[in-house]
Structure 1
Amino acid sequence: MFFVVNKYLLRRRFVGVTLWPFIVMRTPDLKKDEVFINHEKIHIRQQAEMLVIPFFIWYAIEYLYRLVQYRDNYVAYLNISFEREAYARECEINYLRERPFWSFIAYL
């Protein structure tokens, strides 16, 4: 896992994004934010267990499905199974130690 600080790589609403093996963040102080880092580490695990490219394909297809379902970009994003898992478990700092393989399926 590598940290990249670059506000120009991110859309206005987002403070960070994970592009395996990188966590891109808007500001350097986010490196100290345990909840933010844990959220992004959950995405790193999801991407690794899906072999990266299939993760992004699934993510895009599910986003489009949720966009049709909810008709709102942000609500669609929040309801992607990968995001639902990461947001639900981001405060559990030890979550990744016990997380079963493909746990995001429970959030579909």
Structure 2
Amino acid sequence: MRIVVNKYLIGRRFVGIALWPFIVVKDSLLKEDEAFINHERIHIRQQAELLVLPFYLIYFVEYVIRVLQYRDTQKAYRNISFEREAYYNEDDLDYLKNRKLWSFMKYW
């Protein structure tokens, strides 16, 4: 996993994104934000568990379902199971050491 600083690779509304095997951030200061980096590392683990491409497919399908459910794009994003796991555990810097396989399923 490598952290790449590039403000052009991600959308305007995002400050960072996990694109296996990289974490892309807009600003080099984000590399020092431990909780943020941990959040993105959780996504890297999720992507690896699902062999990358299925992760993106499931993520997109779940996002569409949540948009229909909540009628609010931000609320839909925050309720994607992958995001729920990452947000809930981003402050626990030891989370990935103890995380069980496919733990995101607990957040469906």
Q: TM-score, normalised by structure 1?
A: 0.97
* Equivalence for 2:68: 68
Equivalence map 1:23-62=2 (5 Å): 23-62=23-62
Identity fraction in percent: 61
1:4 shift after superposition: 1.3
CA RMSD, aligned part only?
0.7
Q: Structure 2 length as normaliser, TM-score?
A: 0.97
Tell me whether 1:78 sits opposite 2:78 in the alignment: yes
Aligned to 1:21: 21
Aligned residues: 108
Residues 89-104 of structure 1 mapped to structure 2, 5 A cutoff: 89-104=89-104
Structure 2 residues without counterparts, runs of 5 or longer: none
| Amino acid paired to 2:95 | Y
Q: Deviations over 1:24-54 (max 9, x none)?
A: 1010011111001100000000000000000
What letter matches 1:83 in structure 2? E
**Any idea what the Cα deviations from partners look like across 1:67-108, whole Å, max 9, x if unmatched?**
100111111111000000000000000000000000000000
Runs of 4 or more, structure 1, over 3 Å off, are none
| Aligned-partner residue type, residue 83 of structure 2 | E
- Gaps of at least 5 residues in structure 1 are none
Amino acid in structure 2 at the alignment position of 1:22: F
Query: For residues 8 and 37 of structure 2, what CA distance do their matches in structure 1 show?
Result: 19
